[in-house]
Amino acid sequence: MFKHEKHLLQEVKIDAPNPNYAAMLQEQLGGPQGELKAALQYLSQSFRINDHEIKDLFLDIAAEELAHMEMVATTVNMLNGHTPDANRATVGNVQAHVLSGLSPMLTNASGQLWTAAYVNCTGDLAADILSNIAAEQRAKVVYEYLHRQINDKGVRDTIDFLLNREEAHNSLFREAFNRIQDTGSQKDWGVTEDSKLYFNLSTPGKYFDLNNPKPTSFNNPNPQNDRPMN
């Protein structure tokens, strides 16, 4: 079960309202690389995980992504200011001004409603962890784009925090992968002829070959973590 505490995971501030940037920041609230997607992806995957250590990791991070979502939404809310004025909010979607009364919304920067099509869950631990690693990397990239388009000190600090947390999650998911790397969809990799061929279908050019395919394996940055710490 979830319990809520009123204080945010980390305090958020803004220098001044900025409705245009509020619309842009919506991307990480209700967009495909945003916090809601991350939280619901890891939560969805967790329901069928048997490995209690990895299940705990997924739920630790899912809970944190919900907390990030609150931080982003609170920042959007402050940036939206106090007066609906779509005519001056020329960037991105104008839903805050005509629909939500300046409340943050479950949409991306252009007003596309959040959809569960963003969430990947296969029931295979290797595939799901790889999905999460990719999701965290994309989330970092979007925060980088948002960071460089705002000068507001408060907003930059919040983005900086969130960006670094996604990096931390990414590293943790890779450690989790190392623990289960010989299971499920990782088994019997590259044993057929078909799995070793390269089809050169775009011409000109052929710059890769595939002599000896192996299942995914990350270099392990934290060898001391190869064994659980409990």
Q: Which of 27, 65, 70, 97 is catalytic?
A: 65
Q: Which of 27, 64, 68, 70 is catalytic?
A: 68
Annotated catalytic residue 65: yes
Angle among Cα 121, 23, 139 to the nearest 5 degrees reads 35
Annotated catalytic residue 136: yes
Compute the residue count for the chain: 230
Q: Is 211 annotated as belonging to a binding site?
A: no
The full 3-state SS of 49-73, as one line of letters, equals: CCCHHHHHHHHHHHHHHHHHHHHHH
Annotated catalytic residue 27: no
Q: Is 56 annotated as belonging to a binding site?
A: yes
CB of 180 to its own copies, least distance (A): 12
Q: Which two tokens stand for residue 58?
A: 């997924």
CB of 72 to its own copies, least distance (A): 10
* Contact (CB, 8 A) for 60 and 54: no
Annotated catalytic residue 166: yes
Quote the CA–CA distance of 76 and 163 in Å, as a whole number: 17
Q: Which two tokens stand for residue 111?
A: 């007003």
Q: Could you tell me which residues are beta bridge partners of residue 113?
A: 107
Q: Which of 35, 64, 70, 97 is catalytic?
A: 35
Annotated catalytic residue 35: yes
Q: Is 202 annotated as belonging to a binding site?
A: yes
Quote the CA–CA distance of 174 and 53 in Å, as a whole number: 14
Q: Is 60 annotated as belonging to a binding site?
A: yes
Quote the CA–CA distance of 168 and 69 in Å, as a whole number: 17
Q: Which of 27, 64, 70, 166 is catalytic?
A: 166
Binding residue positions for Ca(2+): 56, 60, 200, 202
Binding residue positions for Mn(2+): 35, 65, 68, 136, 169
**Which residues carry out catalysis?**
35, 65, 68, 136, 166, 169
